[in-house]
Each structure stands twice: as structure tokens, then as C-alpha cells.
Amino acid sequence: MRTAIFVGRKRTKIMEKLDFSAIVDSKYNFHCNEHIALFSDFEEVRNHGISDVLIEGFLFAVVTHGQAQISVDEKTYQLEEGDVITCKPRNIFERSMMSMDFNALVLFLSPEYVAQLSQMVRMEWTYSMFSISHKILKADKMAVNRFRLYFDLLRNHLSSPDSPHKELSLRLLLASMAYDLHDLHGFQNEELLRQTYSSGENILRQFMQHLHDSSRPYLNVNEYASLFSITPKYFSSVCKRLTGKTANQLISDEIVRSSQIMLRDSSKSIKQIAAFLGFKNQSHFGRFFRLQTGLSPQQYREGKVL
């Protein structure tokens, strides 16, 4: 274990949030409806660094020109043409620098919409979208060209008048993109892809939808099992079989992630964060957080690392 290092100053401040209300109010040129937003013009934002923006949705981006350096959840990445970024909700984008010719295709989806799309694509893709915080993949020129075509079609559909099959067309386009993304992730289980949903996979899909909905309180294993009308033992076995983690581990992981995000935002005290997350008191929250991370909430807020 490495020695704790003090960064030197508190890193907390009030973060901006990017969700659909912020997109609607944005001065930038988004093509959007209530669940889908597209952006592909970095002319106005190229010289403006991103500072602590909490992304409240699924983000998918393909770099089409130039280079950039971005920081996501305290890790810095170098991006170049062909890099594909996938992020689940509640990622923090902290800083960015872009070359003068940088451009990217950006797709933003609401968590509710991704939950609906999960009924059209395989569970392996759906779980990866909910479980992987963020990932950078590499696409070849043919894949980048396909993503360009997807974006052109999505933009055209979003701009067109309503029609009986407009929503279905949008979902089918996004489902096709999901399978291209599936290939980039390197998932190889084609037999699994051809199977129909099992009851266990449907339970996991519902659980992931509840767990990643920031408007819903966190529950314990027994409460989630009751919600799905199954036994806690069966619920945990489903989670373990399909994800490699028990239900309790999945719940704890998400609570830790939410804790870290809120501790980096100065708008709430540690006591308020503990209450918001459903802990009995601040001491209970402190013991849980230290057990999971090795740091107290205050140490994490002050920028110490292990």
C-alpha cells in the first residue's frame, strides 16, 4: 500500500451538471429530443477548458479530427483521431485541451432511454454500459465512417417531422450502433448474443436501471429482492453469475462512486451526504467509506490519495 499524499488544497467546488435540461438551455448547437442529444461542432468550445462538469447521462464520442487531452474522474487521457469514448452516467470531466483542428461526434443518451434500448440488444452490452465507468477504445477508419453515417441519420431523424415509425427508426439506429460498439469492446460470446433474455438477465437489467437512477434511494439486498419478487439468495446468485459480483458488492460500488462525486462538490457537507445516501449517521457513513476506500470522507475531500 502506498503512503497517503496530501495534494495541498481542497479540490472541491460546486460542479456544473450536464443533463437534458442543461442541454436545452445550452448556447451550443445540439440536435436533440427529450432523450437523445447530438453535438459535432467544437468551433465555439475549442478554446474553453472543461472544469468539473458532472455528466448525468450516457456519453459516447468519436474523435474525427485532431488531438485532445481530457481528465475524467481524476485520470488524464490523450485522444487522437479514431478514439472512441464511452461513459456511463455520473462521470466528472475536469479539464480539457484541444488542438485547433479538433472535432468529435458526441452522443448523449438519458439513462431511461438506455434502459429501454437494453430490451433491443443483448445483456452483455447493457451490463457493460452500466458497469464500466468510462473507457477509451480504438476504431479503424471504416468504423469511424460508419459512426459518421449513424450520426448523419440520427441528426436527420431528430430534425424531421414526427411520423408513425420515427421513434422505432431511432431505436433501431442506436441498437445498430450498440452492436458496433460491442465489437469495439471485444466481446466474443456470439452464442450469448443469439440467445433470448433469461429471467435472470431481466432481473439484472431492472436492478441496473434502479441502481443507476440518481432520483431513487439506494436499497439493501433484501429490499431490492422484494422489489423484484424474488428471494435475496436468488437475487445475489443472479448478480454473481452474470457480473462476477454479488448484489451487495454492486450496491456498495455504486454508493462509493456517488459518495466520491458528492465529496468533490462543496455544496453539501459530509453530514448531508451521509443522510442523502441513506446512512443512519455521519459516523456510519465514515466507517463504510473508509472500509471501501481506505480513506475517511474528509481525507478524500481534502485530496489525499493512497
Domain assignment of residue 141, given as a range: 16-192
Of the pLDDT bands very low, low, confident and very high (cuts 50, 70, 90), residue 130 is: low
Of 82-91, 120-129, 220-229, the poorest mean pLDDT is in 120-129
- Counted domains in the chain: 2
Could you tell me if 163 and 212 lie in one domain? no
- Spell out a b/e string for 30-58, using b for 16 or more CB atoms within 10 Å of the CB, else e: bbeeebbbbbbebeeebeeebebbbbbbb
Of 192, 210, 225, the position where a domain reaches its end is 192
* pLDDT, position 135: 83
Q: Per-residue pLDDT for 4 more than 80?
A: no
303: left (phi over 0), alpha (psi -120 to 50) or beta: left
Could you tell me if 207 and 284 lie in one domain? yes
Of all residues in the chain, the percent with pLDDT exceeding 70 is: 83
pTM of the predicted structure, to 2 decimals = 0.74
* pLDDT, position 36: 94
CATH number at residue 275: 1.10.10.60
Could you tell me if 207 and 150 lie in one domain? no
Of the pLDDT bands very low, low, confident and very high (cuts 50, 70, 90), residue 63 is: very high
* pLDDT, position 264: 85
Of 192, 218, 238, the position where a domain reaches its end is 192
DSSP-assigned beta bridge partners for residue 61: 85, 106
Of 192, 219, 243, the position where a domain reaches its end is 192
Of the pLDDT bands very low, low, confident and very high (cuts 50, 70, 90), residue 95 is: confident
**Are 95 and 71 in contact, with CB atoms under 8 Å apart?**
yes
Higher pLDDT, 216 or 168: 168
Q: What is the mean pLDDT of residues 15-19?
A: 80
Could you tell me if 23 and 58 lie in one domain? yes
Average pLDDT over the chain reads 82
Q: Per-residue pLDDT for 137 more than 80?
A: yes
The per-residue pLDDT for range 26-36, each reduced to its tens digit, is 877 888 888 99
Torsions phi, psi for 62 (to 5 deg): -125, 120
The per-residue pLDDT for range 224-274, each reduced to its tens digit, is 999 999 999 999 998 888 788 899 999 999 899 889 888 988 788 999 999
Give the gyration radius of the chain's Cα atoms. Answer: 20
Could you tell me if 83 and 163 lie in one domain? yes
CATH number at residue 47: 2.60.120.280
* pLDDT, position 302: 85
Strand pairing class (53-55; 16-18): parallel
**Are 88 and 209 in contact, with CB atoms under 8 Å apart?**
no
Could you tell me if 63 and 168 lie in one domain? yes
Could you tell me if 131 and 270 lie in one domain? no
